[in-house]
Chains A and B, each alone.
Chain A
Amino acid sequence: MAIDFVARGADLELVGIRKEFPGFTAIENLDLHIPAGEFFALLGPSGCGKTTTLRLVAGLEQPTKGKILIGGKDVTDTKAYQRPVNTVFQSYALFPHMTVLENVAFGLRQRKIDDPLAKAQAALDLVELGHLATRRPAQLSGGQQQRVALARALVNRPSLLLLDEPLGALDLKLRRQMQIELKAIQIEVGLTFLHVTHDQEEAMDMADTVAVMNLGRIEQMGSPEALYDRPKTVFVSKFLGQSNLFVGNVSSDNSNSVSIDIAGNKITVPKNRAEKHSGTIAVGVRPEKAFFHEEQPKLGADHNLIGPGEIIDIRFTGVSNQYLIEIPNIGKITVFAQNIGKSPVTELGAKVWVSWKVEHSFGLSDVPISTATESIAVQ
């Protein structure tokens, strides 16, 4: 069944895209290449230009400058209805005056494709809504509407499927379920998916490649694992998960690592995990990669150790405990400890040292605007 919808996804290329609206520039200068068949996520906070990017690709907006190529063909000047691209809109935009089946058949009818109703029915079957074909969109639940919107786009076998925060309107549980289904369908039909979202978990969970966008630029692009393991900018380290960041001047520099000095503590980062090797740099570590100790431990050069400090807050979140530790002259550090049997310390005010492996440090290309060390948690 699903074979009907297998299309050879095409690759998408954006070259030097600039988009200005009256009064502001949404996208400054964007170059992007998405290989055919990939699940690509554009991740960023609202207003970062990700939805504008998607609308440019769909043809709903015209770029001020730059070129858009789909499957190697320049489509910059073609209209939305001439592009081999379909969109699953954030609001779904299901036509309220048509049945579910007619909604799905709409694109086929416009292109005068044979047997639109049978194909539409098959597409509805693919998303397991075949039995609701005669309903009106308003009679469906949010999750069902989302799947109809997906079927309506997929049935056209577009070279490129655009997803504009398609799960944003669903509740958490349904969203999880839809993420799994969406990913399964993408693998099944082999289309190129461009997914726009502000939900970092969703992006990491589903995409092969994630591009983190901020202020109209792509900050960093890569596999979810790579992005999480080695964020390159303060923004990415904040936006994807949580980070403890330390800012200081490089005090020693040897063949494969650099160290910064902060309030008499030395924090080392491998050179191949640091963007900058001189001057003032920010070094970070993820909270789950840090540990704390009640006694000052004896650790080798392969570990960073700071402290002593004081536990000023403990939060129980189920899977883990989150400790907030204040170290004089350094600041507050977050440490996650898995809840496996007994937790190391459970009292506020305990005196502790914090350590992590040097290989878990990462060095950023920029420093936070407020240079004080802080534990940054953006969720």
Chain B
Amino acid sequence: MAIAAFGHAGSSKGTKNRASKGSAKVALLLLAPGLLYLAIFFIAPLLSLVATSLQTMDVSTGFPIYSYGFEVSNYVSVVTQYGPQIFRSFFYALVATLAALVISYPLAYFIGVKARRWPLLQGLMLTLVIAPFFISFLLRTFAWKQIFSSESWIVTTLQSIGILNPDQYLVGTPFMVIFGLTYNFIPFMTLPLYTTLERLDIRYLEAGADLYANPRRTFTKITLPLSMPGIVSGTLLTFIPIAGDYVNASGLFLGSTETSMLGNVVESKFLKSYEFPTAAALSVILMGAILLLVTLYVRKSGTDDLL
């Protein structure tokens, strides 16, 4: 799936590229339509997002009217006004990504390393990992809302044993939002981890044991460093969509106004109150932060072959 996106150099490296002479025209013909498409519908919108974020707003008529400008102050007001939502986006994304990593790693290790001798079982387990993808993202999130709804036995049990107060519920809490985010993006973590661990050469682990490393040391010194490419792709693939998500944190699903993230603000500003510059500025902040993160991350971990 999407995993290939951040996948490590592997498949494509081995084969040599053979260039046929005088074929620049063919290459151009093949590339042009798709690249043009991306230029018009990806690059231009990003630029127009930046432009929108700098527009000046006039509310004197009672209905906001925008005109092009260079209103950097939009950003200042956005950050001061929506600081908590921005913070929540990145904080929830961080916690959910770490949770997904902790949950996924042993699972991916089991499928990729321990189950190697049974390819059919491996295939079946991988199907189970991606099974959540086959049911609508919104439906599965809604299912969690049902499961943890105030009427559900889970909540009533928790209330009766005193973990929750009688007037306390799970839906609407940060815990629930992070829970939902973690669940929804776990396959994005498990799959790249699996791809790396599946290729992990067991002989390195044997060499570790032969060189006096106990299982714990073998894991920290050999297995873990060798699975870094999977950890890098997995955390990026999980963190990015989570930071921009607004379904889980929405009051209609697992969140409440207390948990709203950057995405929820963008959604309501863009589609409800039509404060486009605000929504655009927030989007640009998110994009900038993600780009910065990807660049740093990739440079640090050396996974430069992204495509």
The answer on direct contact between A and B (beta carbons under 8 Å) is yes
Give the B-binding residues of A (Cβ under 8 A): 58-60, 79-82, 85-87, 89, 91, 93-97, 106-107, 110-111, 152-153, 156
Considering the complex, which residues of chain B in the window 182-216 have a beta carbon less than 8 Å from any beta carbon of chain A? Answer: 201, 203-204, 206-215
User: Which of chain B's residues have a CB closer than 8 A to the CB of A97?
Assistant: 225-226, 228
Contact across chains for A95 and B204 when beta carbons are under 8 A apart: yes
What are 16 pairs between A and B in contact, CB < 8 Å? A59-B210, A60-B206, A60-B210, A81-B211, A81-B212, A81-B214, A81-B218, A89-B203, A95-B208, A95-B222, A97-B226, A97-B228, A106-B211, A106-B213, A106-B221, A152-B211
Q: Which of B201, B204, B209 contacts A81 (CB 8 A)?
A: B209
Q: How far is the CA of A107 from the CA of B222 in the complex (A)?
A: 13
User: Which of chain A's residues have a CB closer than 8 A to the CB of B207?
Assistant: 87, 89, 93-95
Contact across chains for A87 and B210 when beta carbons are under 8 A apart: yes
User: Which of chain B's residues have a CB closer than 8 A to the CB of A95?
Assistant: 204, 207-208, 222
Known contacts A95-B222, A97-B225: A58-B203 contact under CB 8 Å: no
Q: Does B114 contact A (CB under 8 A)?
A: no
Q: Which of B209, B211, B228 contacts A79 (CB 8 A)?
A: B209
Contact across chains for A86 and B210 when beta carbons are under 8 A apart: yes
Contact across chains for B210 and A80 when beta carbons are under 8 A apart: yes
Contact across chains for B204 and A107 when beta carbons are under 8 A apart: no
Q: How far is the CA of A80 from the CA of B208 in the complex (A)?
A: 9
Chain B interface main SS type: helix
Q: How far is the CA of A153 from the CA of B226 in the complex (A)?
A: 21
Chain B proximity of A156: nearest CB distance (Å): 7
Tell me which of B203, B209, B213 has the highest count of chain A C-beta atoms within 10 A of its own C-beta: B209
Q: How far is the CA of A86 from the CA of B213 in the complex (A)?
A: 12
Q: How far is the CA of A59 from the CA of B213 in the complex (A)?
A: 13
Q: Which 8 pairs show the lowest CB-CB distances between chains A and B?
A: A107-B211, A93-B207, A80-B209, A110-B212, A93-B203, A97-B225, A110-B213, A81-B209
Q: How far is the CA of A87 from the CA of B208 in the complex (A)?
A: 10
Q: Which of A60, A91, A156 contacts B211 (CB 8 A)?
A: A156
| Residue in A closest to B221 when the chains form the complex, CB atoms | A106
User: Which of chain A's residues have a CB closer than 8 A to the CB of B206?
Assistant: 58, 60, 80, 87, 89, 93
User: Which of chain B's residues have a CB closer than 8 A to the CB of A79?
Assistant: 209, 214
Tell me which of B203, B210, B213, B225 has the highest count of chain A C-beta atoms within 10 A of its own C-beta: B210
| Residue in A closest to B209 when the chains form the complex, CB atoms | A80
Q: A81-B213, A97-B225 are in contact. List 9 more A-B contacts (CB 8 A).
A: A81-B211, A81-B212, A87-B206, A91-B203, A93-B201, A93-B206, A95-B207, A96-B226, A110-B217
User: Which of chain A's residues have a CB closer than 8 A to the CB of B203?
Assistant: 89, 91, 93
Chain A proximity of B146: nearest CB distance (Å): 45
Q: How far is the CA of A60 from the CA of B209 in the complex (A)?
A: 8
User: Which of chain A's residues have a CB closer than 8 A to the CB of B208?
Assistant: 81, 95, 106
| Residue in B closest to A85 when the chains form the complex, CB atoms | B210
User: Which of chain A's residues have a CB closer than 8 A to the CB of B210?
Assistant: 58-60, 80-81, 85-87, 89, 153
Tell me which of A80, A87, A106 has the highest count of chain B C-beta atoms within 10 A of its own C-beta: A80
| Residue in A closest to B214 when the chains form the complex, CB atoms | A81
User: Which of chain B's residues have a CB closer than 8 A to the CB of A91?
Assistant: 201, 203
Chain A proximity of B115: nearest CB distance (Å): 15
Contact across chains for B225 and A111 when beta carbons are under 8 A apart: no
User: Which of chain A's residues have a CB closer than 8 A to the CB of B214?
Assistant: 79, 81, 110
User: Which of chain B's residues have a CB closer than 8 A to the CB of A153?
Assistant: 210
Chain A proximity of B294: nearest CB distance (Å): 22
User: Which of chain A's residues have a CB closer than 8 A to the CB of B222?
Assistant: 95
Q: How far is the CA of A31 from the CA of B230 in the complex (A)?
A: 45
Chain A proximity of B88: nearest CB distance (Å): 36
Chain B proximity of A137: nearest CB distance (Å): 11
Chain B proximity of A145: nearest CB distance (Å): 13
Q: How far is the CA of A152 from the CA of B207 in the complex (A)?
A: 10
User: Which of chain B's residues have a CB closer than 8 A to the CB of A58?
Assistant: 206, 210
Q: Which of B212, B215, B218 contacts A111 (CB 8 A)?
A: B212
Tell me which of A59, A86, A87, A93 has the highest count of chain B C-beta atoms within 10 A of its own C-beta: A93
Chain A proximity of B55: nearest CB distance (Å): 50
Chain A proximity of B183: nearest CB distance (Å): 32
Considering the complex, which residues of chain B in the window 36-66 have a beta carbon less than 8 Å from any beta carbon of chain A? Answer: none
Chain B proximity of A87: nearest CB distance (Å): 5
User: Which of chain B's residues have a CB closer than 8 A to the CB of A81?
Assistant: 208-215, 218
